[in-house]
């Protein structure tokens, strides 16, 4: 164990488990929020939600290398542990878990996880390495912390669906809670990557939620989904986005496609689009 001025920090699995088992012996329930650091109000909302559902909250800060491809921004991903600890303490977190890569992935580790259908399509098409890495690190973290409840943001909606399927299929005894996306005053979903945007790009980024809301309204009204998705992609390009990876309306439960090409149950409209070198994702309920 080590401490920051604001919060105890566990850096090994042994220290983490010693603290958590001590809480459980006292009868406390445990909540968990996994993060990659560079925290903002969206993350802190997850911590506060976990604090409403459990007596003690652990938050992990770990930039997971297995979900980054070779060309992605692993090295550039912002790291600010002291600031993160200060923010977590203010949100009611009781312990930060900040392991080294070597603690999470010993040199001779060979196990991988393939989740299957929920990880296919959408982000899985454009970042095919990501969900295998997410599933592996989440499975390890849940096993290490052994919380009663874990809170994930709905902003990464496909990730939430993947985690729910992982927990169900592997019989991991934890409640997975999805927390609504936190947005700025203009409707832009909070993200650590927003810091990469210039002032002009930020102005364009704030149009994303409006395009998704319009697509969701058209889908809810029974419009044909291929036309709605294509129209939304065109609207994003006209708004100033440099490239659109996808706009898709899918079943909310499992992100499957609607067989009839029209919404006939709970749905989500999801998008990924680029502004220069920054890739933004967002989604909304339909």
Catalytic, 43? Answer yes
Q: Are 96 and 10 in contact (CB under 8 A)?
A: yes
Strand-strand pairing, 95-97 and 149-153? unpaired
Report yes or no: 272 and 232 within 8 Å, Cβ to Cβ.
no
Q: Considering the candidates 43, 71, 148, 243, report the single residue annotated as catalytic.
A: 43
The full DSSP string for the chain is: -EE-SSSEEE-SHHHHHHHHHHHHHTT--EEEEEE-S---HHHHHHHHHHHHH-SEEEEEE---GGGS-TTSSTTTS---HHHHHHHHHHTT--EEE---HHHHS-TT--------GGGSSTHHHH-TTHHHHHHHHHHHHHHHH--SEEEEEGGGHHHHHHHHHHHHHTT---EEEEEPPPB-TTSPBP-GGGGG--HHHHHHHTTHHHHHHHHHHHHHTT--HHHHHHHHHHHHHHHT-SEEEEEEEEETTT-PPPTTSS--SSEEEEEEEEETTEEEEEEEE-
Give me the active site residues, please: 43
């Amino acid at each position: 164990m080590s401490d920051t001025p604001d919060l105890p920090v566990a850096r090994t699995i042994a220290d983490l488990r010693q603290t958590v088992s001590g809480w459980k012996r006292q009868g406390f329930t445990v909540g968990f929020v996994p993060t990659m650091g560079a925290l903002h109000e969206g993350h802190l909302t997850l911590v506060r939600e976990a604090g409403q559902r459990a007596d003690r909250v652990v938050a992990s800060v770990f930039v997971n290398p297995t979900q980054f491809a070779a060309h992605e921004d692993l090295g550039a991903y912002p790291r600010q542990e002291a600031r993160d600890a200060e923010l977590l303490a203010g949100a009611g977190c009781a312990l930060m878990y900040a392991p080294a890569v070597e603690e999470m992935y010993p040199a001779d580790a060979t196990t991988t996880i393939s989740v299957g259908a929920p990880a296919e399509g959408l982000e899985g098409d454009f970042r095919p390495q990501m969900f295998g890495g997410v599933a592996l690190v989440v499975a390890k973290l849940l096993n290490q912390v052994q919380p009663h409840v874990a809170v994930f943001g709905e902003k990464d909606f496909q990730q939430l669906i993947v985690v729910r399927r992982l927990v169900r299929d592997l019989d991991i005894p934890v409640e997975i809670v999805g927390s609504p996306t936190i947005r700025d005053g203009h409707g832009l979903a909070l993200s650590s990557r927003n810091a990469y945007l210039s002032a002009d790009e930020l102005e364009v980024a704030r149009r994303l939620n409006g395009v998704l809301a319009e697509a969701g309204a058209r889908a809810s009204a029974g419009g044909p989904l291929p036309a709605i998705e294509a129209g939304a992609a065109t609207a994003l390009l006209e708004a100033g986005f440099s490239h659109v990876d996808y706009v898709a309306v899918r079943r909310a439960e499992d992100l499957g496609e609607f067989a009839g090409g029209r919404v006939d149950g709970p749905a989500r409209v999801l998008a990924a689009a680029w502004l220069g070198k920054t890739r933004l994702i967002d989604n909304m309920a339909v």
